[in-house]
Amino acid sequence: MDRFLFLTFDGLSRGAVYAAFALALVLIWRATRIVNFAQGAMAVATAYVGYSVADATGSYWLGFAVAVLAGLLLGAGVERVVMRFVDHSSPLNGVVVALGLVLIIQGVLGMIYGNEFRPAEAPFSRDAFNIGGVALLSRYDVFVFAAVGAVVVLLTLLFTRTPTGLRMRAAAFAPDVSRLLGVPVGGMLTLGWALAAAVGSLAGMLVIPTELGLHPTAMDVLFISAFTAAVLGGLDSPIGAVIGGLIVGLVLSYISGYLGATVAPMAVLALLVVVLLGRPDGLFARSKARTA
């Protein structure tokens, strides 16, 4: 039972990171109908920037803030300089361009920082503290929950309580109608990419200290898990992304704990296949009512 509780909390902590990353994928999918396969590489790039600043200044928190800010700028830049000019007549075009970005970003990171794993320290202890004699959560897990929870709350407030959020949603649902209502659709898309990339950067900063460290491909496996989470929840559903992330985190934690960590990567792919075959629109997909 102790083991089960530990794996549950560990899975939820990991799932919270998947949820944040899946949320970033959903934000861009809703706005542009593109699965941003470059999200992981972009997050690693900003993590390198963040840890470089942290190394140079000795302040993890400054590095953390710079990484998220770099995510905002990188996301806006990718939309304005690259994605805006992609021919959207075929969904494949955006996917191919995103995959090209992955190769470019990982290649550039390898040239600048090398292809060895670099240590990335966590700001809090990862040793679980005991509650009632059972090891449940570490301080770092609590930090992860708080950070992802804050992001979910802030995004929810943005999209439901502010005119900007309302216009971002409108621009995603029906761009031409939105333009007629005075919504600067291009600006909203840029903002959406910026926010998504910033959330991806946050997820990267949260997960990299729990893995082997910084590496140009450090987010590749996480991307697959987060993509599975987004598909499981429904690519159109932000709440689905969060719940999907938690479910994937739990499933992987139980599988790693009871069957061995080496089975986990295959389990993610198996889960993705099951979801795509059984419920390709996801658990929380809306009915076909998204076009204007």
Partner 1 sequence: MATDSSAPSTADSLSAADRGLTLHHITVRFGGLLALDDVSLRVPPGRTVGIIGPNGAGKTTLFNVICGFVVPQSGTIALDGRPFRPRPHQLTGRGIARTLQGVGQFNGMTVLENVLVGARSRKAEEEAWAALERCGVAEHAAALPASLPYAKRKRVELARALAAKPRILMLDEPAGGLDADEIRWLATLIQEADCTVLLVEHHMDLVMSVCDEILVLDFGKPIALGPPAEIRTDPKVAEAYLGAAA
**Least Å distance between CB 118 and partner 1?**
43
Fill in the amino acid letter for 35: V
Nearer Cβ to partner 1 (188/248): 188
Residue 116 as a binder of partner 1 (CB under 8 A): the answer is no
Residue 178 as a binder of partner 1 (CB under 8 A): the answer is yes
Residue 174 as a binder of partner 1 (CB under 8 A): the answer is yes
Residue 286 as a binder of partner 1 (CB under 8 A): the answer is yes
Q: Which of 185, 222, 248, 255 binds partner 1 (CB under 8 A)?
A: 185
Residue 169 as a binder of partner 1 (CB under 8 A): the answer is yes
Q: For the residues of the chain, what is the DSSP string, one character each?
A: -HHHHHHHHHHHHHHHHHHHHHHHHHHHHHHHS---TTHHHHHHHHHHHHHHHHHHHS-HHHHHHHHHHHHHHHHHHIIIIIGGGS-TTSHHHHHHHHHHHHHHHHHHHHHHH-SS-B----SS--SEEEETTEEEEEHHHHHHHHHHHHHHHHHHHHHHHSHHHHHHHHHHH-HHHHHHTT--HHHHHHHHHHHHHHHHHHHHHHHGGGTT-B-TTTTHHHHHHHHHHHHHH-TT-HHHHHHHHHHHHHHHHHHHHHH-GGGHHHHHHHHHHHHHHH-TT-TTPPPS----
The two tokens of residue 182 are 């005075």
**Least Å distance between CB 243 and partner 1?**
18
Count of residues interacting with partner 1 (CB under 8 A): 23
**Least Å distance between CB 172 and partner 1?**
9
Short-list 26, 32, 29, CA closest to 185: 32
**Least Å distance between CB 91 and partner 1?**
20
Candidates 33-41, 64-72, 129-137, 281-289; binding stretch for partner 1 (CB under 8 A): 281-289
Q: Which of 5, 73, 122, 166 binds partner 1 (CB under 8 A)?
A: 166
Nearer Cβ to partner 1 (65/166): 166
Q: Which of 1, 92, 180, 277 binds partner 1 (CB under 8 A)?
A: 180
Q: Which of 81, 92, 116, 291 binds partner 1 (CB under 8 A)?
A: 291
**Least Å distance between CB 77 and partner 1?**
22
Residue 285 as a binder of partner 1 (CB under 8 A): the answer is no
Binding region for partner 1 (CB under 8 A): 163, 166-167, 169-170, 173-174, 176-185, 286-287, 289-292
